[in-house]
Structures are given as C-alpha cells and as structure tokens.
Amino acid sequence: MYSATEKALIVSIWEKVTPHTEQWGGEALERLFTVFPQTKIYFKHVDTSPGSAAIRTHGDKVMKAIGSTAGDLDNMSTTLSSLSNLHAYNLMVDPVNFKLLSHCILVVLANHLPSEFTPEAHLAFDKFLASVASVLSHKYR
C-alpha cells in the first residue's frame, strides 16, 4: 500500500524521468553490467559494451515499462502481467538481479535529480522499484 504522499512523490519524480528514458535507462544498464557483470549472462545476444546503442534501446524499454505503472500503482500486477510472464517463464531471470537493477536506477536518478531526489523521494522510489521487482518475479513463488 502506498500513501498519497508516496504516490505523489513517485509521479513527480517520474515526470522528470520521462524525457530521458533512453539516456537514463541506458546509464542504469551500463552501471548494471559494469558493477554486477554477472548480469550480462542474460544478455549474451546483446552488445553490452559501454555506450552501445543496444543498451540505450533496451534501457528505454525498461524505463518506459516502469513508467507505465508509476501513475497507477494499485494496478501494477495487471499492467506488468505480460512482462512478469516474460521474465519468469521465458527469460528465467533470478530475482536477485531485480534488486541489482533497482539499485542502479536509484543511483542514476540521484545523479540526475540532485534536488528532487530527497530522502523521502528515495524511500518512495525504492519501495516502488521493489514492488515492480516483486511483480516481475512473483511467478517464481
């Protein structure tokens, strides 16, 4: 459950992310592959070298998927249902990796939004990304 304050914080941060989904999504993935290189195992068919166009394209998709649920948190499991199937059944991503990516996304947001990313916004966004991760991996349970 989210408080009205948390919902408002998530929406207001997401409004700032929207124009930059490709760049910031790419930066988050680049961090993921650099800091946690074991995650590259899922992307053998993708060019994961720093600055690759494929990373930016994929980062854009990931950020837009997150954005699709930012304004409607109570319906997240419906909104992300097909992505949940994809990650759980087709890609079989170990759930621990969602925490790693969430961490990288938080670092990118903190970098780009130094004044907006207050401790309260950090807390709300951490909770939000943990919910996204839970929905994307809930089919494992």
CA nearest to 39, candidates 17, 62, 19, 23: 62
Kindly state whether residue 8 participates in binding ligand HEM, applying the rule CB under 6 A.
no
Which residues are CB-contacts of 126 (< 8 A; sequence separation ≥ 6)? 102, 106
Pick the piece of the chain touching ligand HEM (CB under 6 A) from 3-11, 13-21, 81-89, 115-123: 81-89
Q: Name which position in 21, 30, 31, 39 contacts ligand HEM (CB under 6 A).
A: 39
What is the radius of gyration, based on Cα positions, of the chain? 14
Told to check if 132 binds ligand HEM by CB under 6 A, we report yes
Gap between the Cα atoms of 39 and 72, Å rounded: 29
Size of the site for ligand HEM (CB under 6 A): 20
Binding of ligand HEM by 101 (CB under 6 A) = yes
List residues binding ligand HEM (CB under 6 A).
39, 42-43, 46, 58, 61-62, 65-66, 83, 86-87, 91, 93, 97-98, 101, 132-133, 136
